[in-house]
Chain A
Amino acid sequence: MTTVPTKTRPSLLSAVRNINLRAYGMIIALVLIMILFQALNVTLQNENFITPLNITNVILQNSYILILAIGMMLVIVNGHIDLSVGSVLAFCGAMSATALADWDWPWYVAVLFAVALGAAIGVWQGFWIAYVRIPAFIVTLAGMLIFRGLTLKVLDAETKGTTGTFNELASGYQFMGVDLRVPTLVVGIAGAALFVFFSVRSRTRQVKAGIAASSQTTWLIKTAAIAAVMLAAAYTFYSYKGLPIIGWILLGLVLLFTFIANRTVFGRHVYAGGGNEKAAMLSGVKVKQTTFWVFVIMGALSGLAGVIVTARLHAATPGAGNAFELDAIAASFIGGASVTGGVGTIIGAVIGGLVMGVLRQGMQVLGIATDTVQIILGLVVLAAVLFDVWNKKRATGGGLMPPIVGTTPGGSGGAKAKAKEGIDKEPTRAGTLSATTDDKPIS
């Protein structure tokens, strides 16, 4: 059956309606959450929530989750999962602290060492997952135990302190003696200008080729809004102490990985392999190799996150990074990753991490107890995935392709095929597994 999308009318209302909710829904949600906390804070405690200090703190406190979420998004898009990142982070952090404190290595060598170690762990796990085809769930579950154990061994179950420039990475505002306030503002303005320039250029080319992706109004709103957010963010950081070093690292990672995901053959293959592995393979995508490198990247990012956590605490601890994998996975799903793989953006993962961070920070400022915070965060994750399911239905034409018995909501054949392959590919979906085992006869 053919779905015939309704023609777009060039009105403001339809422009708003046609905004891709999956892509921008979470940005809107993030803004709404911030406004909500601002309102609550003003009424209940008579003070502002949206302050340069609070915003900076959200970045500082969640930096390592955001780094992990970037890698996790690639892993999930490729149709896998990584449960080991918390332990890998702890192990790499411990090794960097050892290199720094016991072996007297310069800080940058210690950092590179941790990243390389993480990548090496990625090689180990990626090999089993991609080439031996052991489900990522199992391999990384094993990794979670192995690297936690190694952390305890290396640290002898004690804390190892770190000093000097190394610690500045997680919370410093001056890099090698250079104050970062003015650069923050300059880069913010230059970035917004560059963004507008590239947006206009790409738009012109699309219009020229006769294949504009969206209406003029939608495009204008989008471009203006993003540029405004960039300027506002730059000014906010400027008015406190400037963007901290970790903020620059994050910015670099987001730009780098967005580029990799969208503009490189490797990136597109990550998506193609996760969206429909068989079709990708038959289209000449080296699926195994792609998956392997995704896990190497995840490992390297875990190593970097390990450095940041250690630097932030000024010490490597045996329990560092505990349950961070869950935060990173949650951030990816809040940020629009599809449970079946193939869908998700780097910026989405970061936004997802920020939504969690802002919620935590906001509730903390309001004096809400941690137990309640946990419950609310749990519900948010559920709501985000629910939103994704609803949105998918909407995108595939809602009522046009209603679920038939036996097919997944949304009714696309691909989803059904995935569910069938689900067991060897993604044992995380407990629903699929239990549904079949329950019905098994005793024979």
Chain B
Amino acid sequence: MSEDILRMRGITKRFPGVLALSGVALGVKRATIHALVGENGAGKSTLMKVLSGVYAYGDFDGEIEFDGQPAQFKNIRDSEAAGVVIIHQELALVGELSIAENIFLGNERKRGGVISWDRTNAEAARLMQKVGLHDNPATLVEKIGVGKQQLVEIAKALSKDVKLLILDEPTAALNDSDSENLLELLRQLREEGVTSIIISHKLGEVLSVADRITVLRDGQSIETLDTEADAVTEDRLIKSMVGRDLEHLYPPHEPKIGKVFFEINDWSVHHPEQRDRVMVNKASINVARGEIVGLAGLMGAGRTEFAMSVFGRSWGSNISGEATMDGKRLHLRNVPEAIESGLAYATEDRKHYGLHLEYDLRENFTLPGLDRLSTRGVVDQDKVNAVSERLRTEFGVKAPSVYSLAGNLSGGNQQKVVLGKWVFTEPELLILDEPTRGIDVGAKYEIYELIHKLVDQGKGVLMISSELPELLGMCDRIYAMSAGHITGQVDRANATQEELMRLMTLETASGGEEQRQ
């Protein structure tokens, strides 16, 4: 057996008008964790699709050698038969089916065409044990969190006797502890001889888990680094990814913080279906003009629920508490009232909740502010065009024109459109929920600059993020949330990851009667 389980040479893949991959080489050593990094559009996902047979052999140039054999996969079935399993960023699970069924979906445990439920559940339990998932195999997948769903995907891969596991952004939607679990599982699988390729934007995580790292840029393989032999740092990787020096990850900014203008007091929210379940418990926060306030918390802490309930009760039930702006009490019974009151909420899930992917930029930019562009209910199309063009240039959206469909933009540019559409409503307070999720380093920097520009105009920003370094790098003050409670706040000077993590994991009495802070 050769040392390399995978050798890809001279991989070139063309799309109409675009050269997605150009002579890419990738060698992966057996029983290692190999990371693939690069900006969005660098060709990472395309390369993995080539490898896993999503693009049939012959659709691309170059050769692949897997496990000592030349590989000519025509489809995913072929590659899975050889032991290559890819787990996409958007999980391919059916929420309405149980964990066990999902594990064996398309690969059912059956006897003579009839599903054997005993075998299905028993074997699923064994695989779940292996990935550290301690639920009932009959639990529906929609009832478990994203972190656990990710584990189901891995169990599914293991059920197919995987030799090479490919994970596309596996931790993008996970909180820190779930991410750590997953990475630990990969290390454990490595001990058992499973090779993994992991695509990730989170460089810290890449450095901690990967044995070797290959950097892709503009469809070319730039270099492959060995994390043990070479002295690899985040800066080193970023430099290689963007092809230029990035002085800092966060643009320099001199905060001009004014008076506190937005306050929320004793805000409580219940779950929309399980109405006796308290999701946010007497939370109180405030934001000053020109200030970027962070909201840290683990997944399930209630950050998004809090933000959405404030934004016109778009989430939750039985909402109580008081919100004031410049001392005046706000009425936030629905989203139009929230927008009217000067609030804006840019969602964490821009593809599903933030944008109309099938519509062009004009429709997306002007939807929340359509009333400003119309008289007596009739829209002024010329104004729509002019405003969209202005926002496109102002926010540096890289799209051929305002007629481009939002769905055809990269993640970073989509996020700029989301920011643009909210800035057009001239809000006083912008709530940004995971504003840089799934965005590459270069685009992140541009988003940060846009955020700075907003606060420099005297607006307030409430920023929710799962990435602590981002909060530390951007925010003037950070609130921590745990199990629906605001457990504390730290200002820029005193903020450390450790302190935040302590507050985020602070045990709070779940009864709700207990005080906060």
Bound together: yes
Q: A282-B345, A402-B54, A414-B351 are in contact. Are A264 and B16 (CB under 8 A)?
A: no
A400 in contact with B18 (CB, 8 Å): yes
The segment out of A127-135, A139-147, A202-210, A297-305 that lies at the interface is A202-210
- CB neighbours (8 Å) of B386 from chain A are 209
Count of chain A residues with a beta carbon within 8 Å of a chain B beta carbon = 58
Q: 0/1 per residue, B94-138, Cβ < 8 Å to A?
A: 111110010000000000000101000000000000000000001
From A5, A6, A263, A343, give the contact of B379 (CB < 8 A): A263
Answer whether residue A52 sits at the interface, using C-beta atoms and an 8 A cutoff: no
State in angstroms the CA–CA spacing of A1 and B15 once bound together: 12
Q: Which of A3, A202, A205, A269 gathers most chain B CB within 10 Å?
A: A3
- CB neighbours (8 Å) of B40 from chain A are 1-2
- CB neighbours (8 Å) of A412 from chain B are 357-358, 407
- CB neighbours (8 Å) of A241 from chain B are none
B92 in contact with A265 (CB, 8 Å): no
A257 to chain B, nearest CB (A): 14
Answer whether residue B511 sits at the interface, using C-beta atoms and an 8 A cutoff: no
B389 in contact with A279 (CB, 8 Å): no
Answer whether residue A43 sits at the interface, using C-beta atoms and an 8 A cutoff: no
CB contact list, B32-50 vs A, under 8 A: 40-41, 45-46, 49
Q: A5-B400, A265-B379 are in contact. Are A282 and B410 (CB under 8 A)?
A: no
- CB neighbours (8 Å) of B18 from chain A are 3-4, 400
- CB neighbours (8 Å) of A278 from chain B are 352-353
The segment out of A163-171, A315-323, A390-398 that lies at the interface is A390-398
Q: A211-B385, A213-B403, A406-B92 are in contact. Are A276 and B355 (CB under 8 A)?
A: yes
Answer whether residue A177 sits at the interface, using C-beta atoms and an 8 A cutoff: no
- CB neighbours (8 Å) of B409 from chain A are 2
- CB neighbours (8 Å) of A440 from chain B are 96-97
From B334, B398, B405, B421, give the contact of A283 (CB < 8 A): B421
B16 in contact with A420 (CB, 8 Å): no
State in angstroms the CA–CA spacing of A443 and B115 once bound together: 12
- CB neighbours (8 Å) of B161 from chain A are none
Answer whether residue A286 sits at the interface, using C-beta atoms and an 8 A cutoff: yes
From B95, B371, B377, B400, give the contact of A420 (CB < 8 A): B95
B408 in contact with A396 (CB, 8 Å): yes
State in angstroms the CA–CA spacing of A359 and B467 once bound together: 61
Q: 0/1 per residue, A414-443, Cβ < 8 Å to B?
A: 101100100000000000000010011111
Residue of A nearest to B346 (CB): A282
CB contact list, A335-359 vs B, under 8 A: 338, 342-343
- CB neighbours (8 Å) of B408 from chain A are 2-3, 5, 396-397
From B17, B354, B379, give the contact of A282 (CB < 8 A): B354
B117 in contact with A414 (CB, 8 Å): no
Answer whether residue A404 sits at the interface, using C-beta atoms and an 8 A cutoff: yes
The segment out of B208-216, B257-265, B362-370, B454-462 that lies at the interface is B362-370
Residue of A nearest to B106 (CB): A405
B356 in contact with A210 (CB, 8 Å): no
B358 in contact with A264 (CB, 8 Å): no
Answer whether residue A266 sits at the interface, using C-beta atoms and an 8 A cutoff: yes
Residue of A nearest to B406 (CB): A414
B387 to chain A, nearest CB (A): 10
- CB neighbours (8 Å) of B17 from chain A are 4-6
State in angstroms the CA–CA spacing of A6 and B351 once bound together: 24
A282 in contact with B347 (CB, 8 Å): yes
Answer whether residue B314 sits at the interface, using C-beta atoms and an 8 A cutoff: yes
Answer whether residue A367 sits at the interface, using C-beta atoms and an 8 A cutoff: no
B101 in contact with A265 (CB, 8 Å): no
- CB neighbours (8 Å) of A1 from chain B are 20, 40-41, 45-46, 410
A439 in contact with B368 (CB, 8 Å): no
A337 to chain B, nearest CB (A): 13
Q: 0/1 per residue, B396-431, Cβ < 8 Å to A?
A: 001011111101111001000000010001000000
State in angstroms the CA–CA spacing of A400 and B43 once bound together: 12
Q: Which of B55, B97, B98, B385 gathers most chain A CB within 10 Å?
A: B385
A211 in contact with B389 (CB, 8 Å): yes
State in angstroms the CA–CA spacing of A281 and B356 once bound together: 12
Answer whether residue A26 sits at the interface, using C-beta atoms and an 8 A cutoff: no
A441 in contact with B16 (CB, 8 Å): no
From B377, B402, B407, give the contact of A211 (CB < 8 A): B402
Answer whether residue B88 sits at the interface, using C-beta atoms and an 8 A cutoff: yes
Q: A205-B382, A283-B367 are in contact. Are A276 and B94 (CB under 8 A)?
A: no
Q: A265-B371, A266-B377, A396-B408 are in contact. Are A414 and B335 (CB under 8 A)?
A: no
State in angstroms the CA–CA spacing of A284 and B339 once bound together: 7
State in angstroms the CA–CA spacing of A399 and B56 once bound together: 12
A282 in contact with B353 (CB, 8 Å): yes
- CB neighbours (8 Å) of A417 from chain B are 351-352
B358 in contact with A342 (CB, 8 Å): yes
Q: A1-B45, A263-B378 are in contact. Are A279 and B355 (CB under 8 A)?
A: yes
Q: A282-B314, A283-B335, A399-B16 are in contact. Are A404 and B353 (CB under 8 A)?
A: no
A400 in contact with B311 (CB, 8 Å): no
Answer whether residue B381 sits at the interface, using C-beta atoms and an 8 A cutoff: yes
- CB neighbours (8 Å) of B94 from chain A are 436, 439
Q: A268-B363, A416-B90, A441-B117 are in contact. Are A279 and B352 (CB under 8 A)?
A: yes
A439 in contact with B101 (CB, 8 Å): yes
A343 in contact with B381 (CB, 8 Å): no
- CB neighbours (8 Å) of A405 from chain B are 54, 76, 88, 92
Answer whether residue A285 sits at the interface, using C-beta atoms and an 8 A cutoff: yes
B367 in contact with A285 (CB, 8 Å): yes
State in angstroms the CA–CA spacing of A279 and B415 once bound together: 14
Answer whether residue B336 sits at the interface, using C-beta atoms and an 8 A cutoff: yes
Residue of B nearest to A213 (CB): B403
- CB neighbours (8 Å) of B497 from chain A are none
CB contact list, A275-295 vs B, under 8 A: 275-276, 278-286
- CB neighbours (8 Å) of A264 from chain B are 374, 377-379
State in angstroms the CA–CA spacing of A397 and B15 once bound together: 9
Q: Which of A268, A436, A440 gathers most chain B CB within 10 Å?
A: A268
B91 to chain A, nearest CB (A): 8
- CB neighbours (8 Å) of B405 from chain A are 395-396
B351 in contact with A413 (CB, 8 Å): yes
- CB neighbours (8 Å) of A4 from chain B are 17-18, 400
- CB neighbours (8 Å) of B354 from chain A are 279, 282
B437 to chain A, nearest CB (A): 13
CB contact list, B46-62 vs A, under 8 A: 46, 49, 54-55
State in angstroms the CA–CA spacing of A185 and B314 once bound together: 54
Q: A284-B336, A396-B405, A412-B357 are in contact. Are A265 and B377 (CB under 8 A)?
A: yes
Answer whether residue A407 sits at the interface, using C-beta atoms and an 8 A cutoff: yes
Residue of A nearest to B45 (CB): A1
A392 to chain B, nearest CB (A): 8
- CB neighbours (8 Å) of B312 from chain A are 284
State in angstroms the CA–CA spacing of A144 and B154 once bound together: 49
From A400, A436, A443, give the contact of B138 (CB < 8 A): A443
Q: A282-B314, A441-B101 are in contact. Are A6 and B355 (CB under 8 A)?
A: no
Residue of B nearest to A443 (CB): B138
CB contact list, B79-94 vs A, under 8 A: 88, 90, 92, 94
Answer whether residue A231 sits at the interface, using C-beta atoms and an 8 A cutoff: no
State in angstroms the CA–CA spacing of A284 and B351 once bound together: 17
From B15, B356, B398, B425, give the contact of A342 (CB < 8 A): B356
B358 in contact with A272 (CB, 8 Å): no
State in angstroms the CA–CA spacing of A405 and B354 once bound together: 24
A209 in contact with B385 (CB, 8 Å): yes
- CB neighbours (8 Å) of B359 from chain A are 271-272, 275, 342
CB contact list, A210-261 vs B, under 8 A: 210-211, 213
Shortest 9 CB-CB contacts between residues of A and residues of B: A406-B92, A413-B351, A414-B357, A3-B408, A417-B352, A283-B368, A6-B17, A2-B410, A283-B367
Given contacts A263-B381, A398-B16, A439-B101, 9 further A-B contacts (CB under 8 A): A1-B45, A2-B413, A269-B370, A271-B363, A281-B314, A282-B354, A286-B334, A396-B407, A402-B49
A-B contact pairs, 6 of them (CB 8 A): A263-B381, A265-B378, A284-B335, A400-B15, A414-B351, A443-B117
